[in-house]
Each structure stands twice: as C-alpha cells, then as structure tokens.
Structure 1
C-alpha cells in the first residue's frame, strides 16, 4: 500500500536526522535525477520556466539546467528534514548576507521592512537565520494538500522561530498591515506566484507573468520600506564548510529599498512597485537559474487562456 505525501514527509522529518549527512545528500541527488529522468509535469514546467531565464540556451543546455535545478530543489528538502538538528553556529556558518546594511539600519531604528522573495535557494534556512540575526520573521505560507503535509511544514517553520499566517485565511492582509506598522520584526513574502487571484501582471524575465500584489500593497498602504532579497546556493570550503557541517551554504542578497511613487492611484502605484521588485529578483534568477525552484505555471502564455481571463475579470471587479 502506497504511503501518502503527508505520511512520507512525516517519516522524513522524524528519521532523517539519524541518517549520516553524506548519505542523505546522496539520496537527494538520486531522487532528483530519477524525477528528472521521468520528465514529470513539474520537471517539464521547470524547463519551460528556465527557458525564460536563459533564452539563448540550447535544448541540451536547458535539460542540464533542469537537472541541476531538480538537484537544488531536492537539496532544499534534504536540508529541511534535518534543519531542526542544526546548531546555531552551523546555521550562522551556512548563511552569507550581501547588501544588508540598509536593512540592518532600518531594523535598528525600529522600522519593520517588507522583503519580497522568490522561490529560490533555501528560504527556510534564510528565515531561521533572519529570525535570530535580524528580527523575528512573519510570513505567509501556501496551504498545501494533503492537510497533514501543510501542518508538518507549518510546525517545522514555527519550530524554527517564524510566525506563519496561512494564505486564504480571513484577515491575513490586515495582520500584515498591523505588523508592518510596528517595530520588532520583518515581513517576508514569497511573492513570485499569485495565489489570491488578485495579483499584478508584470514583465518577468522578458515574458508576462502574474505575481502577488502583497509586498507592494503593504508598502503603498503603510509606508513600510520594501526591498527584494534573492537567495541562492554557494559551495563552502575550508573553515566555513567545517563550521557549517555541510558543503552547501546560501547567500541572501538584499537589494536597495524601492521608492514608492507619490502620485497615481493605489493600483498604479502597486503596479510600479511590483515591477521594481520583480526586476530585482529577475536579475538574481538569471545569475543563478538552477536555484529557482519554480515547477508551477507563472507565465501568462503557459496558463489556460479562458481561466486566466476569468481571473483577470475577477481581480478587476
């Protein structure tokens, strides 16, 4: 009898910590290669998405890039299953921040910044690092199926010190508004997919895509500073690798805060600000496409045309 996804993840979180780290890394590589060879729908969509990040790549280069992307994606899961066992020293050694000065100054001044993220690298590792070294993280998580799987992920992130709101629940945006106007935390939003059907259509890697309006709406509504942060893997060597207990670390690249236009309607201002953070993250994705874990449809030309037209009509009504 096959195990459901929630049960499999529960077993992985419970027992992966007992598996030697090199063995676990090997398992994730093998799992990634098997899924890549099977050419599942997710792998095919990842390849189409990566073609936007690398439009001049040949079919062979895209296949190799998709394989590297699946290995990066499975590495994320392997790390998630054992992250509870990482010491604070290991977490610190695994993360390098770039362009952090502005964010540090804002938090020190009692200002809560809003950080727009894409599905890059290991955003959970970034979250636990930020909760300790920057400020407690408040974020919104997509409700997954089956429910048991979502509860596993929610408990995992809360155990790491993050506060989790659930996308689609009543009052989520009001909670974010209140948080953005109080000191003592950072609001981090994975926003390169529109889960609410109230998103913003933008130019993303040279194609039209629909992303979440939340980060820009918070900045426009509250005046909270908004910046994008790219997350990607890097190989560790020497003393840092020894301290991290793994050959892989991540870079969190903070971009400068985005000015909010003083003129225009709220919708127009949200559109402008959204395009700005998308442009910032698109540069990180082009530089590190293998760490963009986007196996879903985000580009308009990949969507069902009739369904998308209904989504646009609903968002404008």
Structure 2
C-alpha cells in the first residue's frame, strides 16, 4: 500500500470525523457533551502522544521548572482537558446564541480596546492559542457591531479547510486563506484595515519562513511579524488579547495597544512590537497556563518530552541550567 494512498485515506477520515463531530455533538444534551469531551481529554492526556508530550515540555518552560513531575503531569492533564473543552464548544458554537456568549464572557482591560475605537483607529487583536478564540470571535462581533477579518491556515484535505472556513463564516467571521488565495492575505487585510475594519490574528506560532525573534518565557522563539507590520502600515492599534476559560464561561484579557510607529527601520520596530506582544501573552498565560493549547514546537531547544518509560531526559528549563 503506497504512502500517498494512506495519506489520502487518513485525510478523508479526518474530514469525515470533523463533519460527524459538528453534526453529532450538537445533537447531544450539553452536559453529556461536556462530560464526553472531558473524559476524552483525560484519556488523551494518559495516552501520552507526541502532541501531549510537546505540550508538557512547553508547560515546563512556561512554569520555569518550578513544578515537580507529578505536578507538571497534573497541569498537562488539565491543559489537555481544556483543549478538549475548546473542541466540544467549537462543535456546538453554530447552535449557540451570541447573547449567551456575550453574557457569559468576563472582560478585563476593555478600556484599551475602547480607546482605540474611540480614536477612530482600526484594530488588530493579536491572540495566542488560548481558551476558546472562536467564542471570543462571537463576542468581538457583538462588540464591534459587525464582522472582523481573520486568516485561515490551509489544511489537508481541501474539504477540511473549506469546512473550517464555513464554520467560522457561519459565526460571522470574514476569513481569508493564509496562502493560495486569489490575492495575498496581507494585501486583503491591509485593505480591510484601511477601511477602518478590525482583524484577529493568532500569532504565538510562526508558520512561515520569516518571523521575528522574541524572548518568550526566557527562551528565544520566533513569532510572525505580520501583525506588527500591518499596524505600522495602516495605523491600526495592535492590542494583545488572551482568551481564557472560566468555570462556566469565558474570559478576555486585553492589554494596552503596542506602539509600532516611530523612528528607525520598520523591521526593528516590528520586532520590538512583537516582543511587547509576547510579554503581554506571557503574563496572562502564566496566570492560567492550562488554557494555553500549544501542542506544537515553538522553542528550538524544547522538543517533545520523551515517551513515558524512556531513558531519555526531558529538556532542561532555564532554572535547571
């Protein structure tokens, strides 16, 4: 059996699984759906796959090596359960009324966003993969009184990408592809912001070949610099925004907008701005690390933890060096 056939079959099964999820989970009573996904999160954490092991390594870096291994395992389990909660809610969001999302969302630092809008500036909300950013999007649309624009990464198969685009557009988002669109995504975003629009961009992991170096929890990481460049080119306010879960709802934490204008080279100003974004992310993520759903590698010196029972040692943290 060829590798290509296996990859195509896997992609079709993945797409079918998401299609079934969006349909079936909405039919379940909400308590049953929450319980099922929480159990699935616990199972996934115990299975200790590569994503979970990378998440644990990332959380070790976030907590600076201060946790014992049992404490870190407990935090990782909570983080995988939080990620499972994200998916449970994502599958149900198209059936939820925006009034419920708005009423159930606590907001910290809203004045930073209001200041930018009162000044007539377009807004770029820069987010990490934390909490439920899709639920946050529904709150944004209600507060803005209209849609915002965001970027979608190309997924395989194409049908799965189209399914995610349709999902987010059903919530009221305007979605442009990161690559492969009729026009470059940066051009479309620049035009949208130039008309006074708002955009939300996930910026805690660099997916392209570029990016800017920042210090993030004491380690060098590379973040995409596009949000800062767009802010400099359009005069938009660059507002770090972190989504979190509460016991029965959601929390949004807005930080002061990050200055990008000024003297010096644009590249240098963008790097300085993204460092300020990383600092704002770090403060909120450190407060509630279990809601940071980073199962991918973002630090070159933080690979996934070795499998349970392996003789290999986890990567040391700065505190342990």
Counterpart of 1:297?
Answer: 297
Task: Name the CA distance, whole Å, in 2 between partners of 1:110 and 1:98.
Answer: 21
Instruction: Give the CA deviation at 1:261.
Output: 4.9
Candidates 89, 94, 97, aligned match of 2:99: 89
Candidates 129, 150, 157, aligned match of 2:161: 150
Counterpart of 2:204?
Answer: 192
Counterpart of 2:148?
Answer: 137
5+ residue gaps, structure 1:
236-247, 305-317
Helix, strand or coil at the partner of 1:110: coil
Helix, strand or coil at the partner of 2:120: coil
Does residue 36 (structure 1) correspond to residue 49 (structure 2)? The answer is no
Q: TM-score w.r.t. structure 2 length? A: 0.87
Instruction: Give the CA deviation at 1:5.
Output: 1.2
Counterpart of 2:240?
Answer: 228
Instruction: Give the CA deviation at 1:78.
Output: 0.2
5+ residue gaps, structure 2:
1-8, 305-321
Helix, strand or coil at the partner of 1:116: strand
Helix, strand or coil at the partner of 2:249: strand
RMSD of aligned residue pairs (Cα, Å): 1.8
Helix, strand or coil at the partner of 1:4: helix
Task: Name the CA distance, whole Å, in 2 between partners of 1:88 and 1:222.
Answer: 30
Tell whether the 8 Å contact from 1:195 to 1:212 is kept in structure 2 after alignment: yes
Candidates 162, 167, 190, aligned match of 1:177: 190
Instruction: Give the CA deviation at 1:273.
Output: 0.5
Instruction: Give the CA deviation at 1:179.
Output: 1.6
Tell whether the 8 Å contact from 1:140 to 1:189 is kept in structure 2 after alignment: yes
Q: TM-score w.r.t. structure 1 length? A: 0.88
Counterpart of 2:32?
Answer: 23
Instruction: Give the CA deviation at 1:290.
Output: 0.2
Q: How many residues align?
A: 291
Residues 229-281 of structure 1 show CA distances to partners (whole Å, capped at 9, x for unaligned) of 1111111xxxxxxxxxxxx2111111011122512111111110110111001
Of stretches 282-291 and 196-205 in structure 1, the one that deviates more from structure 2 is 196-205
1:92-171 to 2 correspondences below 5 Å:
92-134=102-144, 135-169=146-180, 170-171=183-184
Of stretches 257-266 and 278-287 in structure 1, the one that deviates more from structure 2 is 257-266
Counterpart of 1:256?
Answer: 256
Counterpart of 1:76?
Answer: 86
- Which structure 1 residue ranges, 4+ long, deviate > 4 Å from structure 2? none
Instruction: Give the CA deviation at 1:59.
Output: 1.1
Task: Name the CA distance, whole Å, in 2 between partners of 1:48 and 1:149.
Answer: 29
Tell whether the 8 Å contact from 1:111 to 1:182 is kept in structure 2 after alignment: no
Tell whether the 8 Å contact from 1:168 to 1:196 is kept in structure 2 after alignment: no
Does residue 217 (structure 1) correspond to residue 226 (structure 2)? The answer is no
Residues 56-88 of structure 1 show CA distances to partners (whole Å, capped at 9, x for unaligned) of 111111111110000000000000111111123
Counterpart of 2:54?
Answer: 45
Helix, strand or coil at the partner of 1:202: strand
Instruction: Give the CA deviation at 1:108.
Output: 4.3
Of stretches 117-126 and 293-302 in structure 1, the one that deviates more from structure 2 is 293-302
1:266-277 to 2 correspondences below 5 Å:
266-277=266-277
Residues 184-221 of structure 1 show CA distances to partners (whole Å, capped at 9, x for unaligned) of x3111001111121111111111111111111111122
Residues 132-152 of structure 1 show CA distances to partners (whole Å, capped at 9, x for unaligned) of 222421111112223222222
Instruction: Give the CA deviation at 1:301.
Output: 1.4
